[in-house]
Structure 1
Amino acid sequence: MIRKQLLTLWALFLFASMAIAQDIKPITWKDIPTWKYMPGSAFEISPDGKWTVYGLVQLEGDGEIILQKVGDESSKKTFKIGSTSYPSMQFSEDGKWFVYTEYPTFSEKKANEKSKGKSLKNKAILVKLGTDEKKEFENVSNYAFNGKASSVLAINLSKEGNGDARGSDLLIYHLNSQKAQNLGNVADFSFNKAGNYLAYTVDAANQSGNGLYLMNVAANSMQILDSDKASYRSLAWTEKGDAFAALKMVKDKKYKQDKGQVIGVKNLASPQVTVYNPEKDSINFNQAYTISQNRRPMWSDDLTRLFYGIHPLELAKKEEAKKEVDQDSVKQAEAAAMQKIMADTTIKSISDLQKAIAKLDSGKVKGKKENDADTPDMTIWHWNDSRLQSRQQVMMNQDKNYSFWAMYDVNAGKHIQLQDSSMRDLNILDKQRYALGSDLQAYELDGNLDGQSYRDFYIVDLKTGEKKELFNKFYLPSYSSYPRESPDGTKLIYGLDGHFYIYDIPTAQSKNITEGLPTTFVNTEDDHNVEKPMNGALGWSSNSKYVILRDGWDIWQVPVGSGKETAINLTVNGKTDQIRYQYRFGLDPEEKGIDLSKPAYIRMYGEWTKKSGIAQLSPAKKGGLTPGAKVLIWDDFNVGNLSKAKNAETYYFFQEKFNEPTQVYLTDASLSNPKQVTNNAPDAEKYAWSAGTMLIDYVSDKGDKLQGTLFLPAGYVEGQKYPTVVYYYEKLSQTRHNWS
């Protein structure tokens, strides 16, 4: 398909009109280093929805954060945070406390660079919300409140010294009593979701007292779960917070890598600790492998199995042998050089000999032999390599750290390897009953040459480890065709030949769910060298009964069962009115699928108006969503990033125009009467800025309707001529309302 290119016209700002007021000046390069702006989404709202905070930073200067109680302008406070590109800040779950990082100032960093002094340290500032109380902690590395309990703040202090031990002091600051206790040599720490338990590892000098520990926060009591001459790492809590897993790594001089063991801890009130040491399992575990530290372990939801990575062991002797070879080659070179000197008849004195030796040493320093030509710097790609050389370089570290999934059945006391080199990718599905495996090695070279992507897919039974083939040479025109699991972990949705299918894993049955619908889910505007790429599915319903699809204009609710229920066009007017209903805003970061019993908020975009907005789909009484989108926001600006406070019905979104900075607006579930709560780019009004934008419609020489955006200069006067830059690249007119 021939790429449609839309025209974007960029007018130069430096040719501002004489109509600009005298006290408004064009921005120059000298103004850029001290330009204050809100980086990315450096905005936070407290979980109870009562407090907001946002950060402003600058390239060459110090940043600040602005904290305010919602609806109370008099409560606004500004805190200096030193020089950083992104603020670090955090509210406690109960909305009573706030902590942020204060970095060294820009001038301190510059002075330290010149003097080459010791590394500067950060501070943590704890604020009791609604008061003037502040507490400062020096030399801070990172920190965390203890989840829902919100009773302590854990502060990991910066490591002192350059020893091999990873640990440093961990302060446990009790928020109500204002008392602190110190846990020494802590390397990793993590609270569970409820915040009543803290798991941490100790990593001390000479591995003295290294171990895995559990603290009961409310009782303020500690237990040693495991201790050894080992390194403990990769703490991973279950989502419920009722168990966690970790790795135990032991050095073995025979191998380059540490040998690993996996630890599982459950029944936290009276901890039940499982340690699986593969060295003691010669029956089920291949002793040429070990447990890898490059993959974080995890429990199954039912706490019966532990999942972890394994990788091959590599003998250290190979490296030693290489060093010996290198030493031999050095000795041979030195012997050859000495023979050359001894054969040199021009050497008549000690002085001549010294000059010859000096000349030889000089050649070593330069790194080349006498009369050698400059050695070119190049990389070599063999035509049989499955990856291009550039791709090999990008993937080098990933390949080096690669590991295979395996599991340990705690009740049976059995290790099961879940994949090997014939199946390079494995995704453990929700509920950990099945896994989806895939491999592209047989097709990777051809894919790099012709741009077509294929994979073999497999289903792995996570009770037995048994693997069976799902698809052979499955065509993937885009990622949207890739199989995606349902929340119950028993079904997959995938795209094939222009349709979406559901595969039921237990019955091994496939069903075409889009056949016969009065629309197509093929992305007809994708101009890559592929056939029938799909528009991405928006996701599964949380009950695994529906999938939510988009056809490029409208959003559809499609049942996956075998009943009489039919697919529904939920947004109705998208294609008719040339409005693209693009995606759903996920308001709950912990959701498992789309909860159709709650309203769904959808992002809207006008194909030819360039307007944007947010629409709402309401739940139906009999399940699913009701057709017909209610438009809540729709105007000539760029709106997005709709989110809400974790534990309150306080919503916020981002809004911007090309000549109006990105700002955050607070509102309720109706999104009505939004109130601006940030002041991003506060210096913008000091400068001559764009007068706005205009849309230009035109028809290409192929007869296609196209559109461009004209970005006007400051002080624009209609009818005057201005120097103009023209920029063509794919489709850019949709950037009309993007603040830069």
Structure 2
Amino acid sequence: MRHIFITFCILLISLPPACSQTTKRPLTAQDYDAWKSVQKTILSNDGQWVAYEINPQEGDGELVVEAPATGRRLNFSRGYGAQFSADGTYLIAKIKPALEAMRVAKKQKLKPDKMPKDSLIVVKLADGQQRSYANVASFKVGEDGGNWLAFLTKKEEAKKDTTQKAAKPKKPKKLKGDLLTVQNMDGTETFLFENVGDYAISDQGNRILLAREWLRDTTIVRGVYAFTVRTKATEALDSSSVVEVYTNLTLDKPGGQGAWMSSLDSAKAEVKSFSLFLRDFSKKNNVLVADSTTKALPTYYTPSEYRKPRFSDDGSRLYFGAAPLANPSLKDTTMLDDELSRVDVWTWNDKRLQPMQDKQRKEMLEKNYWAVYEVNSKKVIQLGSEILDDVDINFKLNNTYLLAKSNTTYQKMSSWEPGHTDLYVINALTGQNSLVAQDVLGRSEMSPTGKYVVWFDERDTLWKAYDRKMTTLRNLTKELNVAFYDEEHDTPDTPNSYGLAGWTPDDRYLLVYDRYDLWRLDPTGQDKPLNVTNGYGRREKVQLRYLKVLEDADFIDPSASNLLHGLWEKDKETGILSWKSGADPTVIIKEAYSYLPNSVAKAKKAEVYVFQKGNYAHPNELYYVKDWKQPQKLTNLAAQTDGILWGTSELVSWVSSQGVTLEGLLFKPENFDPNKKYPMLVYYYERNASSLHAFRAPAPSRSTINIPYCVSNGYLVFVPDIVYGGGTPGKNAYDCIVSGVLDLVDRGFVDRKNIGIQGQSWGGYQTAYLITQTNLFKAAMAGAIVANMTSAYGGIRWGTGLSRMFQYEKTQSRIGGTLWEKPLYYIENSPLFYADRVETPVLLMHNDADGSVPWYQGIEFFTALRRLNKPVWMLVYNDEDHNLTKRPNMKDLSIRMYQFFDHYLKNAPMPSWMSEGRTVIEKQRWDMKYD
């Protein structure tokens, strides 16, 4: 027995480790739909509660409401759009119909009014009690106060009585609108209003404005009403049997004033004239603010239905849009449609190309310009105009002076040189404007209280400030030996700035970034520029950026403790730092994670924060912070990776063929063995090294490889950075990518005979170019390529209607001149002209509704390779744009792309769609033919 026991122990010890562990598996396409992420996080004002959605890529998600301090947690299946009451006592949210119920309804081809609808829940957080309401279209609560809510319930159509046959009755007049419920949060008091089309609630939650209609005998009457929470009284503000539309209801923050628009023209009328009214609830009469007869507005102007009026926060002004009355259609109704001509007239001096006008048709029809009504003086002032169509308004601070921007003069040249702007200052009390600067290239803004206009001049790379009172222009960074422009900028266009963090109180200083630090600039020019982070960023090579944790904060107080986001350049780690002006920032957290800057938020009335972080091996998790030394993790999305082969990410560097030290990312399979040879996929797009620690979720492809999927299935994935210069983007890509690949091959673990490349758009172009210059790669997949720069140069980006010229002369394509100035550069960088050199099998994707890169570019390359008898396939997803948006198509591309690479790089069988193709008839029969 003793010998048997010893033998058994020896057998146990000698068993391989896998026998005692759970066997891991690679990712599959079936993992995509259920993969979850955190979305739409909100904090209650007191910071006691957090609400967030955990949603799968496809399927039913859930809303989680949690009190981290006590551990209380409430879960609501399919909840979304949550909002806390101002005092944090209640949570209100909508509940989506189950995905399967929607699928069944769509399969039954139900009409929109018969489809499953959202419901509403109101939850008392103290004890979890909840009420629910069906068929809810929308809800509103006071953001800053009150314990009342209003929600709109969709009206259900009455069912027809089919049991009896009777004489056809006279068709009754149909009332529009839905049921509005006004209710206090605990549900003890409820008021109902039928046939409501529009409603609003004040930020203080003390008054609700609604527009409804009803029958008076056989006449439809419409009106605007105000419900006052304190008195529970409903007051008729305006009603009429001839008004056809009441719309754009709004209230000031305290609920003391309301405004609305009305029109005598039918809602279906091609041209409608509106009147804007205001009501001070302490008085008994309405004030006509403006209509088409208002002398202060330009001739034939009327308040615009396409811009909702808005009160300034102090209630002293009502801002609204005004627009010229449109001319009615000139269509000749005496002729048949097929007797009318259909022609666009393109003119050399059109400010905008016809395709651009067509894309902007809706915007042009709805175009309106800011105007303002001074409540106390009862004056209307027109602010904007056809020239000054972009006016910045600070509703919170309600400045007298406003910044207006105009690109009218430069609209024609925007096709080849975009970004030029003239800057004006408008006096909101008079409407008078004055020119500040002409032909500005660079970001511009008005200081919060309206004292200064500042901008970064991209031509001379200086920050400039215009002192409105002194009418003086000052260069703020001229004497500094520091670059405030993007030092890695490598396109022929002027470089952008690193950005503006914000302003100190009362517009005293502005805070701007260099590559690493924050600088304090004095717009008066009296104080010298000061590095308020004390040079810490440059010394430590960490890029510091201010975290605006409260969305409505107007100023940065440098004497207070502020938070900064840090990105350390050497190891790409990120973290959070605390900072006060003039002192070294203090690192709170720094680690090999990606802290998502946009996820950091603070409760309005408490020192409580939330944020998300993750890295390649750990999905982004949500954290709750009362003490930055001990953040509390609220989610456990990392459990999704349990049992799955995942892998690692690392930073690699090499020297290019031009002697430039470059960086890139290398992703390795789990249990990587440096003595083995691995197939490798190479993906690229500009620079990605700084995203070393970013989490990448498994997902079907919109256009590029999914790195976790590829790594989990045994591929190395290499993502090299690319630097450009000299108007030779193709050669630049070759130098950077090929040198990086060869450097990895020399390390011994890359199977040189099985390397593939993949890129989309700009990366797709580089893929197409590379396979004309080298046979290093065994297979290539390229999406949305530019094959022929000479034919693409003068084409249209159909998504915007813009000419493509600017892209080649100024931006990403980096040629740096016109086709007639640099014809050889266009030819030398075009893969099409070297198609006969291609020896690499290539899979193309170019969709027939691509609005960024014309579909014919993919066709040109495909037909050239086809004629040359090269192995080439092209996937064309119908009615899809530059990147896929329809999930079935994304799943389809993922299957085909990995089948393509697996065949060439892993010796997998060639699928039938590659060997046999797929005919139009097979497509009509939905024969997928994957195998």
TM-score of the superposed pair, with normalisation by structure 2? 0.65
State, as a whole percentage, how many aligned pairs show the same letter: 24
For the residue of structure 1 that corresponds to 2:78, the secondary structure is strand
- The counterpart of 1:426, out of the listed 384, 387, 391, is 391
- Judged with a 3 Å threshold, the aligned counterparts in structure 2 of structure 1 residues 505 and 211 are, in CA distance, closer, same or farther, namely farther
Task: Spell out the pairing of 1:486-565 with structure 2 (5 A cutoff).
Answer: 486-496=447-457, 497-564=460-527
Distance 1:271 1:605 in 2: 59
For the residue of structure 1 that corresponds to 2:436, the secondary structure is strand
Q: In the TM superposition, what whole-angstrom CA distance separates every residue of 1:169-219 from its partner, at most 9, and x where no partner exists?
A: 111222245332212222222222222222222255799442232222122
Alpha-carbon shift at residue 402 of structure 1 (Å):
0.6
Alpha-carbon shift at residue 555 of structure 1 (Å):
0.9
Equivalent AA in structure 2 for residue 257 of structure 1 = V
Distance 2:523 2:269 in 1: 51
Which residue does 1:661 correspond to in 2?
619
Distance 2:612 2:268 in 1: 56
- Judged with a 3 Å threshold, the aligned counterparts in structure 2 of structure 1 residues 565 and 31 are, in CA distance, closer, same or farther, namely closer
Q: In the TM superposition, what whole-angstrom CA distance separates every residue of 1:682-711 from its partner, at most 9, and x where no partner exists?
A: 433142222x21110122233332211111
Alpha-carbon shift at residue 305 of structure 1 (Å):
4.3
- The counterpart of 2:642, out of the listed 685, 695, 708, is 685
Which residue does 1:38 correspond to in 2?
37
For the residue of structure 1 that corresponds to 2:601, the secondary structure is strand
- The counterpart of 2:305, out of the listed 278, 288, 293, is 293
Contact map agreement 2:142 2:149 (CA 8 A) in 1? yes
- Judged with a 3 Å threshold, the aligned counterparts in structure 2 of structure 1 residues 607 and 153 are, in CA distance, closer, same or farther, namely same
Contact map agreement 1:140 1:158 (CA 8 A) in 2? yes
- Residue 97 of structure 1 pairs with residue 90 of structure 2: yes
Contact map agreement 1:542 1:593 (CA 8 A) in 2? yes
Which residue does 1:26 correspond to in 2?
26
- Judged with a 3 Å threshold, the aligned counterparts in structure 2 of structure 1 residues 547 and 315 are, in CA distance, closer, same or farther, namely closer
Contact map agreement 2:467 2:523 (CA 8 A) in 1? no
- Judged with a 3 Å threshold, the aligned counterparts in structure 2 of structure 1 residues 636 and 263 are, in CA distance, closer, same or farther, namely same
Task: Spell out the pairing of 1:501-650 with structure 2 (5 A cutoff).
Answer: 501-564=464-527, 566-581=529-544, 583-618=545-580, 625-640=581-596, 641-650=599-608
Q: Which moved more, 1:255-264 or 1:293-302?
A: 293-302
- Judged with a 3 Å threshold, the aligned counterparts in structure 2 of structure 1 residues 284 and 142 are, in CA distance, closer, same or farther, namely closer
Distance 2:506 2:219 in 1: 49
For the residue of structure 2 that corresponds to 1:516, the secondary structure is coil
- Residue 188 of structure 1 pairs with residue 153 of structure 2: no
Equivalent AA in structure 2 for residue 425 of structure 1 = D
For the residue of structure 2 that corresponds to 1:734, the secondary structure is helix
Alpha-carbon shift at residue 737 of structure 1 (Å):
1.4
- Judged with a 3 Å threshold, the aligned counterparts in structure 2 of structure 1 residues 241 and 733 are, in CA distance, closer, same or farther, namely farther
Distance 2:535 2:140 in 1: 46
Q: Which moved more, 1:22-31 or 1:499-508?
A: 22-31
Which residue does 1:77 correspond to in 2?
74
Alpha-carbon shift at residue 634 of structure 1 (Å):
0.7
- Residue 137 of structure 1 pairs with residue 133 of structure 2: yes
Distance 1:405 1:104 in 2: 40
- The counterpart of 1:710, out of the listed 666, 673, 678, is 666
- Residue 676 of structure 1 pairs with residue 633 of structure 2: yes
Distance 1:207 1:419 in 2: 40
Structure 1: runs of 5 or more not aligned: 1-16, 334-376, 619-624
For the residue of structure 1 that corresponds to 2:276, the secondary structure is strand
Q: In the TM superposition, what whole-angstrom CA distance separates every residue of 1:524-561 from its partner, at most 9, and x where no partner exists?
A: 22223323532211121232101011011111122223
Which residue does 2:109 correspond to in 1?
116
Distance 1:207 1:551 in 2: 67
Task: Spell out the pairing of 1:271-420 with structure 2 (5 A cutoff).
Answer: 273-281=286-294, 283-300=295-312, 303-316=315-328, 318-319=329-330, 321-326=331-336, 329=339, 383-388=348-353, 390-410=355-375, 413-420=378-385
Contact map agreement 1:211 1:231 (CA 8 A) in 2? no
Contact map agreement 1:613 1:634 (CA 8 A) in 2? yes
Which residue does 1:156 correspond to in 2?
152
- Judged with a 3 Å threshold, the aligned counterparts in structure 2 of structure 1 residues 541 and 204 are, in CA distance, closer, same or farther, namely farther
For the residue of structure 2 that corresponds to 1:309, the secondary structure is strand
Which residue does 2:423 correspond to in 1?
457
Contact map agreement 1:249 1:258 (CA 8 A) in 2? yes
- Judged with a 3 Å threshold, the aligned counterparts in structure 2 of structure 1 residues 103 and 269 are, in CA distance, closer, same or farther, namely same
Alpha-carbon shift at residue 378 of structure 1 (Å):
11
For the residue of structure 1 that corresponds to 2:414, the secondary structure is helix
Alpha-carbon shift at residue 154 of structure 1 (Å):
1.7
- Judged with a 3 Å threshold, the aligned counterparts in structure 2 of structure 1 residues 663 and 207 are, in CA distance, closer, same or farther, namely farther
Distance 1:253 1:62 in 2: 37
Which residue does 2:56 correspond to in 1?
58
Alpha-carbon shift at residue 65 of structure 1 (Å):
2.3
TM-score of the superposed pair, with normalisation by structure 1? 0.81
For the residue of structure 2 that corresponds to 1:184, the secondary structure is strand
Distance 2:496 2:559 in 1: 31
Q: In the TM superposition, what whole-angstrom CA distance separates every residue of 1:43-91 from its partner, at most 9, and x where no partner exists?
A: 2332222222322223443222233321334x33332227xxxx22222
Contact map agreement 1:558 1:568 (CA 8 A) in 2? no
For the residue of structure 2 that corresponds to 1:534, the secondary structure is coil
Contact map agreement 1:37 1:681 (CA 8 A) in 2? no
Distance 2:477 2:174 in 1: 59
- Judged with a 3 Å threshold, the aligned counterparts in structure 2 of structure 1 residues 415 and 45 are, in CA distance, closer, same or farther, namely closer
Distance 2:424 2:347 in 1: 30
Contact map agreement 2:371 2:383 (CA 8 A) in 1? yes
Distance 1:129 1:150 in 2: 16
For the residue of structure 2 that corresponds to 1:30, the secondary structure is helix
For the residue of structure 1 that corresponds to 2:334, the secondary structure is helix
Equivalent AA in structure 2 for residue 179 of structure 1 = E
Contact map agreement 1:89 1:100 (CA 8 A) in 2? yes
Q: In the TM superposition, what whole-angstrom CA distance separates every residue of 1:233-269 from its partner, at most 9, and x where no partner exists?
A: 2233445655343322330699722211112234x44
- Residue 168 of structure 1 pairs with residue 130 of structure 2: no
Structure 2: runs of 5 or more not aligned: 1-16, 159-172, 697-931
Equivalent AA in structure 2 for residue 247 of structure 1 = M
- Judged with a 3 Å threshold, the aligned counterparts in structure 2 of structure 1 residues 233 and 19 are, in CA distance, closer, same or farther, namely farther
Contact map agreement 1:254 1:315 (CA 8 A) in 2? no
Equivalent AA in structure 2 for residue 689 of structure 1 = W
- The counterpart of 1:197, out of the listed 200, 204, 207, is 207
For the residue of structure 2 that corresponds to 1:632, the secondary structure is strand
Distance 1:604 1:24 in 2: 35
Distance 1:631 1:736 in 2: 20
- Judged with a 3 Å threshold, the aligned counterparts in structure 2 of structure 1 residues 79 and 297 are, in CA distance, closer, same or farther, namely closer
Contact map agreement 1:146 1:154 (CA 8 A) in 2? no
- The counterpart of 2:436, out of the listed 433, 458, 470, is 470
- Judged with a 3 Å threshold, the aligned counterparts in structure 2 of structure 1 residues 253 and 210 are, in CA distance, closer, same or farther, namely closer
For the residue of structure 1 that corresponds to 2:204, the secondary structure is coil
Distance 2:231 2:601 in 1: 36
- Judged with a 3 Å threshold, the aligned counterparts in structure 2 of structure 1 residues 285 and 493 are, in CA distance, closer, same or farther, namely closer
Alpha-carbon shift at residue 637 of structure 1 (Å):
0.6
Equivalent AA in structure 2 for residue 63 of structure 1 = G
Contact map agreement 1:153 1:174 (CA 8 A) in 2? yes
